Structure 1
Amino acid sequence: MADPWQNEYDFAVQVARAAGAVIRKAGEEEIKVQTKSSTVDLVTKTDERVEKIIIGSLKEGFGDGTHCFIGEESVSKGEPVILTDKPTWIIDPVDGTTNFVHGFPFVAVSIAFAVNKELEFGVVYSCLEDKMYKARKGKGAFCDDEQIQVSDVKDIHKSIIISEHGTDRSVEKVTKIFSTMQKILCIPVHGLRGSGTAATNMCLVASGAVEAFFEIGIHLWDIAAGVVIVREAGGLVLDVDGGPFDLMSRRMMSANNNVIAQRIIKEIEIFPVERDDAPVQKK
């Protein structure tokens, strides 16, 4: 029996690599000559350009109208987030835009593919590192062509944990975020880290470099591809309260095993965020 999604998977890898080349070129040729006041425009233009390349290539490859798309830039322009049973691409064209502006070497293209609301595969191209992470449901996870797996550490004191402080600078949320980080650091763990891109963070869990990554306030396009990669590398993905993972909830804990996950979950101070599938407010 023919593999139903192999062509889509192979195409996603090609498109992610091509998109990454566009990002690298923009970083090398344009950021150096930008003033502080114009870097936001550059990020927006690069985001839009890369998303158009990805979606345009996918429509050309598989036929316009046959697949659905959820993209960060499309949603930012007011399109609702609706995940149906149809084949759906979930795209973050430039994950790590602040890193991109500063030349901090972690910027990723994230492409996931879902059918019947189930994630089938994920591709994360860390374009400045030139590392291609990829995974298909039931077929393992890889960095380039080498299979990867999560670490076997179960002692929380020997673990490295990743989290991010997000973009919301309200005092209430920042206080909870840093209180959580303080409690985790004082368990104590070996260290706390953050690459500045959720997609890359999840790949670091999958490859065994760190034991866990959690965040409240991320979006489905940040983590959809990473969810498949972590699971296929032998890890698990949960809600930050320990319950089942919900792609739309904007709350996620990924870890190498449940022992590490549950210990970290005890320390997380949860705060409310609006779901990705919340109704779009009409202006």
Structure 2
Amino acid sequence: MSYAKELAAAKKAVSLAARLSQKVQKSLSETDIWTKSDSSPVTVADYGSQAIVNLVLEKELHPEPLSLVAEEDSADLRKIGAESVLARITELVKDTLATDESCGASPLSSDDVLSAIDRGKSEGGPKGRHWILDPIGGTRGFIRGEQYAVGLALLVEGKVVLGVMACPRLPLESTAFNIQKSSPGKVGCLFFAAIGSGTYAQSLNGLSPPEKVQVSSVDDPEKATFFESYHTPVPFHSSIAKKLGIKAFPIRVNSQTKYAALSRGDGEVYLRFTRKAESIWNHAAGSVVVSEAGGIVSDAEGNPLDFSKGKYLSYKTGIIATTQKLMPRLLKAVRESMEEEKFNNL
């Protein structure tokens, strides 16, 4: 089945959301950032991005019913004292939509923006169609002026069928470099994939044509590099890398940018082992971008990730993404490391 209409709408929505985020990141102030009840940071860009994606999808896909599973809600924005922040978000959304001729000048009110944000409260599930959105993936990196991503995917009958990711700080040139901070030169990439059609990348500003990308052809683990989140180094990851013979230091970066970089061969392995529940919006777009580029995304036992159980992934122990060539040896290294960890904890 072709998803051309849905893919076009998703590309427009993500591109505009990225445009808003770029504007905010350039002039980020303390009043643009605050802490949610779970102690994680959130910015005006997170809310503005979510509102824009919903508004664009509704306009482009009308009259189809829209189910959106997204990270944010408007509860904090409805509290007394948040009026100035809400006004800023509303202006950001209006100004960004006005930059696109097909959207035109919008008479949006603050209530319209609040409603657009809250339409991301769907629970998803195995039936029907559900859009899955990470409005600003890697908020901590975004705040520091580093890598972040806007990720949007479509789930149909429990399967991810397309994904679009904007990586506004990712250099256009595909090389094996350190992407923890933006490199000089041209930056800003848009990745997109639809099931059975491959993965493509182009400049975020749309000035370059899409080019098909493929995962790395490296088949020697000693020559591979791996990605992990930009947090405290995970000893378990190091154990796996050592068993594979990987000698390069890990590329640490927040957000689904890791999936994007892996899909075009900037590295060969992505490891994510954590005791926390994993939200589907953190992996949905990235999983299809990597798989359509010839890679594999699975849990620690080699099973495909299950996005049909609601807002959280159903998976065994951890998440790994790599190439077809390296997957057998990676799974072996994961199993051995897990057995050693169990023995050491006895």
Q: TM-score range by the shorter chain?
A: 0.7 to 0.9
Task: Give, in angstroms, the shift of residue 7 of structure 1.
Answer: 1.0
Equivalents in 2 of 1:231, 1:75: separation in Å?
A: 34
* Superposition map of 1:1-283 within 5 A: 4-29=2-27, 31=28, 33-34=29-30, 39-40=33-34, 43-63=42-62, 66-74=65-73, 79=121, 81-104=123-146, 106-128=147-169, 129-144=187-202, 145-164=210-229, 178-187=234-243, 188-191=245-248, 192-197=250-255, 199-216=256-273, 217=276, 218-247=278-307, 248-249=313-314, 251-257=318-324, 258-266=327-335, 269=338
Q: Structure 2: give runs of 5+ residues left out of the alignment.
A: 36-40, 76-117, 170-186, 203-209, 308-312, 342-346
Task: Give, in angstroms, the shift of residue 27 of structure 1.
Answer: 0.8
Task: Give, in angstroms, the shift of residue 185 of structure 1.
Answer: 4.2
Q: Is the 8 A contact 1:122 1:134 kept in 2?
A: yes
Equivalents in 2 of 1:211, 1:230: separation in Å?
A: 11
Partner of 2:141: helix, strand, or coil?
helix
Task: Give, in angstroms, the shift of residue 225 of structure 1.
Answer: 0.8
Equivalents in 2 of 1:47, 1:95: separation in Å?
A: 9
- How many residue pairs match? The answer is 254
Superposed CA RMSD? 2.7
Q: Is the 8 A contact 1:137 1:228 kept in 2?
A: yes
Task: Give, in angstroms, the shift of residue 60 of structure 1.
Answer: 2.0
Q: Is the 8 A contact 2:227 2:269 kept in 1?
A: yes
Q: Is the 8 A contact 2:151 2:164 kept in 1?
A: yes
Partner of 1:22: helix, strand, or coil?
helix
Equivalents in 2 of 1:75, 1:138: separation in Å?
A: 37
Partner of 1:110: helix, strand, or coil?
strand
Larger radius of gyration, structure 1 or 2?
A: 2
Q: Is the 8 A contact 1:89 1:114 kept in 2?
A: yes
1:21–1:190 distance in 2 versus 1, CA, 3 Å: same
Equivalents in 2 of 1:243, 1:49: separation in Å?
A: 35
1:72–1:268 distance in 2 versus 1, CA, 3 Å: farther
Equivalents in 1 of 2:306, 2:298: separation in Å?
A: 8
Q: Is the 8 A contact 2:193 2:292 kept in 1?
A: yes
1:165–1:219 distance in 2 versus 1, CA, 3 Å: farther
Task: Give, in angstroms, the shift of residue 214 of structure 1.
Answer: 2.1
Equivalents in 2 of 1:44, 1:73: separation in Å?
A: 11
Task: Give, in angstroms, the shift of residue 194 of structure 1.
Answer: 1.8
Q: Which amino acid aligns with 1:53?
A: I
1:269–1:99 distance in 2 versus 1, CA, 3 Å: farther
Q: TM-score, normalised by structure 2?
A: 0.66
Equivalents in 2 of 1:267, 1:48: separation in Å?
A: 42
1:17–1:143 distance in 2 versus 1, CA, 3 Å: same
Tell me the alpha carbon deviations over residues 50-75 of structure 1, each in whole angstroms, 9 at most, x when there is no partner: 10111111112223661211001149
Task: Give, in angstroms, the shift of residue 9 of structure 1.
Answer: 0.2
Q: Is the 8 A contact 2:300 2:331 kept in 1?
A: no
Equivalents in 1 of 2:329, 2:123: separation in Å?
A: 32
Q: TM-score, normalised by structure 1?
A: 0.80
Report % sequence identity.
23
Moved more, 128-137 or 215-224: 215-224
Q: Which amino acid aligns with 1:200?
A: T
Task: Give, in angstroms, the shift of residue 243 of structure 1.
Answer: 3.0
Q: Is the 8 A contact 2:237 2:271 kept in 1?
A: no
Task: Give, in angstroms, the shift of residue 223 of structure 1.
Answer: 1.1
Task: Give, in angstroms, the shift of residue 141 of structure 1.
Answer: 0.6
